[in-house]
Amino acid sequence: MTVETVRDDVVRVLRASGELDAAVAPPLLDQVGDWVRGARAVVLDLADVAFFDSSGVRLVDRFSRECGRAGASLRVVAPPGGVARQVLEIVGMAGPLVDDDLDAAVAALSA
């Protein structure tokens, strides 16, 4: 599981890859504050995530909270048919937060 900043201008894009599960998620939670600090708009790109469960939901939750605290906007990229999208839909978080791809997310933040 890695999370890296792939773009940081008007929008900061953080791309997660690998498997996001209960074994790896907890230490990531504490880094969310650092990852969003100073950003005006944040995209969490989960398109490359191979596995995603309630731990991932928790991570998204934490992003949402830290962004709210920092006054930053947040969009999550989770392509339809992918595991992250599936899980986020199950827990009812897909509608207000999730975009199908990065372009859509950036566009939404730039609007």
Binding site for other proteins (CB under 8 A): 19, 21-23, 51, 53-55, 57-58, 83, 86-87, 90-91
Query: b/e per residue, 61-88, with b = 16+ CB within 10 A?
Result: ebbbebbeeeebebbbbbbeebbbbebb
CB of 10 to other proteins, least distance (A): 32
Nearer CB in complex with other proteins: 21/48: 21
Nearer to other proteins, 91 or 107 (CB): 91
Which residue's CB is nearer to other proteins, number 20 or number 109?
Answer: 20
**CB-hemisphere CA count at 13 Å for 101?**
1
